Amino acid sequence: MTHKILVVEDDKHIALALTVRLKAAGYDVMTAPDAVLAVSMALKHRPDLVVLDILMPGGNGFLVAERIHDLEAMLGVPCIFITASKRPGLRDQARRLGAAGFFEKPYDAGELLATIRETLDALVNDGDLGESTIPTWIIAETADEASAELSAQPWGGPRIAWAE
Amino acid sequence: MQTSMNYIPQSPGFPYSLGQAMAHMAETVQFHAELTEQRRRLEQTNQELHRRNAELQSFYHVLSHELKTPLTAAREFVSIVLDGLAGTLSETQREYLGVVKDSCDQITLGLNDLLDATRVDTGKLSIAPRPTPMDRVVSQAVAAIAMAARDKGIRLQQVIAPELPDALIDERRIAQVLVNLLSNALKFTPAGGEITVRVSADPQRPAELRVSVSDTGRGIPPAELGHIFDQLYQVRRDDATVQGGLGLGLYISQEVVKLHGGEIWVESTVGQGSTFSFTVPQYGACDPSVHMRKE
């Protein structure tokens, strides 16, 4: 089975570079240049994994991930974030959203492909794609507890939340 | 802005007339009015400086984003070609493209250093310490420069004391410090030399681990030792030219170590080599009075 990956990236050159890499690795790839198209393409194509830029016009990658996860058919679909920004807190924000990976640009293509492969392998091992038994939410009292719960998961996919 | 008051009203002393008392009161009122005005101006200046600081931070973030995006595309397409995804390459083509890729990596490091230096200047550099085995951090840092060391003909070794406790560190930041020290050592050590990374517990400082990077390079003249951690300071070569780099690596490293509650220092003998050492807290033995600014 060929996995489908949605790349959400506003820079057309980086989107093309990711497409070349992912296609060469045997994946079906579709790209969306902004937040609005990303959600409609996710709904239409139901990708197995989403690679997202964070800073984009029309809504950042975190919002896109939330909107995609709000689609019933896309519950628990793993997201991997890539960003050129060094703003503090982005990595933690991605972790809180249950990201399967977080990469700073320029990213290491080998590490990115390895993370994608491991994440998709974990999904396949967990059950049929699209009917994952992985919990969508982890409820914890504190951020540390939530992080511990998350790291105990076989993959970084579920969204997490904790009581303030 | 001038902030000094060059006149403070003096009491006329006893006994004094009603006129003297009123004159003194008028002077005092005027003095307080001037003081209040100066305080207002200082607060305004302070707010303005904070605003400019925030603007500068924001500018550097935008600059970084705008430069890194095309840099990522350039580096990634070079990598795609190097990986053979666009056809077969000759050895010469491979070598030249390798230079392009390395140059992209150098620009990235420079950009990251510039951003970090801005964070140091504005007090916004932060760390997220977690229990971490130091051997893992050392291995990662050594691996990062292993190829460059081999190309230059320099022996690279690590000596890690057995059964060390974990360190309480921000792994990425301490790895950054180590890579900085190792890169400097590599820069100033001639072919055939040696670079050694050591991690040990210090009996004199039981709550800490000591990490050191020693080289057999040309050493640092005593006159330069006192400035080595200054921002933008660059050690000069024998021909008085600078070796390259932005002069930010040691400045940032010093701040990262300080944020961990540790110390960093250098010992050097001209003609024999240098040893840069720093300390990090042991996990479970950290002094609670040490304030760490966390992310």
- Where exactly are the structural domains of chain A? 4-133
- The interface predicted TM-score (ipTM) is 0.72
Q: Do A109 and B104 touch (CB under 8 A)?
A: no
Specify the higher pLDDT residue, B83 or A73: B83
The size of the A-B interface in CB pairs under 8 A is 60
Band (pLDDT 50/70/90 cuts) for residue A120 is very high
Dihedral (Cα; B131, B133, B134, B137), 10-degree rounding: -90
- pLDDT at residue B168, rounded to an integer: 94
Question: What's the mean pLDDT in A116-124?
Answer: 90
Q: Do B65 and A55 touch (CB under 8 A)?
A: yes
What type of residue is A82? Answer: I
Q: Do A84 and B64 touch (CB under 8 A)?
A: yes
pLDDT of B293 strictly over 90: no
Same domain for B274 and B237: yes
Domain limits for position B69: 1-124
Question: What's the mean pLDDT in B247-259?
Answer: 88
How many domains does the structure of chain B reveal?
2
* B263 located within any domain: yes
* B286 located within any domain: no
Same domain for B92 and B186: no
**Of A120, A136, A158, A92, whose CA–CA distance to A22 is shortest?**
A120
- Taking only the tens place, the pLDDT of each residue in B114-158 is 888 877 877 778 888 999 999 999 998 998 888 889 989 999 999
The DSSP annotation for B133-184 comes to -HHHHHHHHHHHHHHHHHHHT-EEEEEE-TTPPPEEE-HHHHHHHHHHHHHH
Percent of chain A past pLDDT 70, that is, above it, reads: 76
Candidate from B76, B105, B126 with C-beta closest to A14: B76
Q: Which CATH superfamily is domain A4-133 in?
A: Response regulator (3.40.50.2300)
- Taking only the tens place, the pLDDT of each residue in B207-238 is 899 999 999 998 888 888 877 787 666 666 55
Mean pLDDT over each residue of chain B, to the nearest integer = 84
Band (pLDDT 50/70/90 cuts) for residue A144 is low
- pLDDT at residue B222, rounded to an integer: 85
The encoded tokens of residue A41 equal 């393409």
Q: Which residues of A touch B295 (CB under 8 A)?
A: 88-89, 92
- pLDDT at residue B86, rounded to an integer: 92
Q: Which residues of A touch B80 (CB under 8 A)?
A: 17, 20-21, 109
Same domain for B166 and B221: yes
Residue A15 DSSP SS3:
helix
- Residue that terminates a domain, selected from B99, B124, B149: B124
**Of A79, A77, A38, whose CA–CA distance to A57 is shortest?**
A38
Beta strands in chain B (DSSP E): 130-132, 155-160, 167-169, 194-202, 205-215, 264-269, 273-281
Q: Which residues of A touch B110 (CB under 8 A)?
A: none
Same domain for B115 and B219: no
Q: Report the predicted TM-score, pTM, of the whole model to 2 decimal places.
A: 0.64
Whether chain B has a CB inside 8 Å of the CB on A106: the answer is yes
- pLDDT at residue B119, rounded to an integer: 78
- pLDDT at residue B106, rounded to an integer: 81
Identify the residue among B58, B59, B63, B65 best suited for mutation to test binding to A, counting A beta carbons within 10 A and taking the highest.
B65
Beta bridge partners of B167: B132, B282
